[in-house]
Amino acid sequence: MASGDLTSESVFGPEDDELELELDVARFNRESLYNRPGFKPSHIELSHAPVEIVGELPDDLEGVYVRNGTNPQFADQRVRYHMFDGAGMLHQVQISEGTATYSNTYIRTPRFNIERELGRETYGHFSDLAVSGHLGMRRMGLIAQKQQRGLIPALSAFETTGASTAVQYHGGHLYGLQEFGHPFRVNAHVKSGRLMLDGTGEFETWGGGWEGPFSAHARLDPNNGDFYNVSIEPGGGIYVGHVSEGIAQRQTLAHQQDPENGKMVYLHDFFLTQNHVVFPDISLRSDPQGKHNSEGSLFNFREDYTLRWGVLPRDFKPGDTARWFDTGIPGSLWHTVNGWEKTDGAGRPTIVIYAPKFADYPCQVPIHTPAEPRARLTKWMLDLDTGAVAEERILLDHGYERPSVNLDYLGSPTRYTYLLDEERDGYMGKGVLKYDLDQEEEASYFDYGDLYGGEPLFVSKENPRNEDDGYLLDLLMGDDEAALIIIDAETMQEVARLLLPQRVPFGVHACWLDTSRLDAMAAQG
């Protein structure tokens, strides 16, 4: 069916209304932890609206801050709330010559365009899996039937992505990323020095070299700009690969596990060290039994399935398999800090990795809410000779997540990490802690006040003198206001605050486009 032939009358029938009644969407959403102003969408798209500056912009901070996040396009939501559901929206703040502007645009994926034409949510949602039990399974089955009958365009599992989790730069292009789908290359051009985004674009496969899901946390090698990915394919295997000079190389690893343990639910982040790719196999597993009630989840935290780390050489060859390091302790995680290789006191080669770890995790995946447990910063030592794993919890009494480091040091020893404090009321972040990994102690803290942060992003100063010679940027959000804050990462003092012309919904992941990246994007046309 051509997109222009779509009408809601030709697609939706009484079975949809019946299913929505069974799902009891309105009641569920009224009682949901996501039913608060910070999660509500913003539907007004602006282009380079002036920004009020409090303080003084640094002379050496020129570029564009771009943050992604979900933003449902319909006020009348017909699915149960979850942070992961909704179209992607890019929020950008461009800083140039002492002034700043704000722009925002929906990411106009094929799914977005189809649903906009129909005027309602049409394809599957994360909430169908996490909080809707057998009703969510029925809904997904109904969607599959409509695609088979040609009532709605048939999109593959990789094409229904909203590209809404993260945003990353690579090779002169900007990508919207969501780990269950293809990367979406956003059309961009630079006009009179200004970055112009309208959200249009296309899925990227790099000439057919990559035709699977792409991580929300694809990693850039700071030395050569290669783009690394680790993600889960639908059958439960793991895609590992990288893109170098526009050519993609990948292979699929068998998960090397007992099928009775279920598949890993997600693989959100991983480590890139000097010689290895290191990725987790977490204790949150798929659970078909969860579909047997109306608010069940198809996920389950298995205390008998212990967290383990897969290690693969960065220069892997066809047929190579991951080496697994079992921690012997259950756990889950979203994000990594950094990892590197060293020789221990006995001369043994060791990989050192840091990440906030959850000792358990609810099956409904209530991320960014009070129902989400607090993560604890944890250190692992992987002995490459013996296969032994040593695990050490560093911060015992406080929950931090969504860490940042100076990405120029990715895969190399870093002294500092910047951790988002989640302990105020369980929503988003209340401040950022600068933590000294060498001394294993708190170095400094910055409080966000009444606003909520998403993730501190480290941006290096020009010609930096040391690792922490840079700025932390975070988009702070309130019920009806938003601001981009700039913090000196060395002193942890506020430098400037950019008051945006409209509120921004809660969201997390961002990237920074400096002038060299903007020049490369301009050269792409």
Q: What is the pLDDT along the chain (525 residues), one digit of tens a residue?
A: 455 566 777 788 888 888 887 889 989 999 999 999 999 999 999 999 999 999 999 999 999 999 999 999 998 888 899 999 999 999 999 999 999 999 999 999 999 999 999 999 999 999 999 999 999 999 999 999 999 999 999 999 899 999 999 999 999 999 999 999 999 999 999 988 999 999 999 999 998 888 889 999 999 999 998 999 999 887 778 888 889 888 888 777 755 555 567 788 899 999 999 999 999 999 999 888 887 777 889 999 999 999 999 999 998 887 788 899 999 999 999 999 999 999 877 788 999 999 999 999 999 999 999 999 999 999 999 999 999 999 988 876 788 999 999 999 999 999 999 999 998 899 999 999 999 999 999 999 999 999 999 999 999 998 999 999 999 999 999 999 999 999 999 999 999 999 999 999 999 999 999 999 999 999 887
* CA-closest candidate to residue 472, choices 450, 500, 491: 491
* CA-closest candidate to residue 226, choices 350, 65, 410: 410
- Rounded CA separation 197/46 (Å): 11
Q: What is the pLDDT of residue 257?
A: 53
Please give the span between the terminal C-alpha atoms of the chain, in angstroms, as a whole number.
Answer: 33
- Rounded CA separation 381/515 (Å): 38
Q: What is the pLDDT of residue 249?
A: 81
Q: What is the pLDDT of residue 405?
A: 97
String of b and e for 144-157 (b: at least 16 CB within 10 Å)? Answer: eebbeeebbbebee
Count CB-CB contacts under 10 A for residue 300.
21
* CA-closest candidate to residue 210, choices 256, 241, 179, 168: 241
Q: What is the pLDDT of residue 260?
A: 64
3-state helix, strand, coil in the chain (%, to 5): 15, 35, 50
User: What does each C-alpha distance from 129 to 257, 265, 294, 506 come to in angstroms?
Assistant: 23, 10, 11, 22
Q: Residue 231 burial by CB count (10 A; 0-12/13-18/19+): exposed, middle or buried?
A: buried
- Rounded CA separation 478/342 (Å): 43
- Rounded CA separation 89/197 (Å): 11
φ, ψ of residue 518 to 5 degrees: the values are: -60, -40
Q: What is the pLDDT of residue 503?
A: 96
Q: What is the pLDDT of residue 364?
A: 94
**370 contacts: CB under 8 Å, gap ≥ 6:** 33, 425, 426, 427
Q: What is the pLDDT of residue 111?
A: 96
Q: What is the pLDDT of residue 288?
A: 83
φ, ψ of residue 18 to 5 degrees: the values are: -65, -45
SS3 39: helix
For the chain, domain boundaries: 1-47+60-203, 218-397, 398-508
- Contact status, residue 452 vs residue 429, Cβ threshold 8 Å: yes
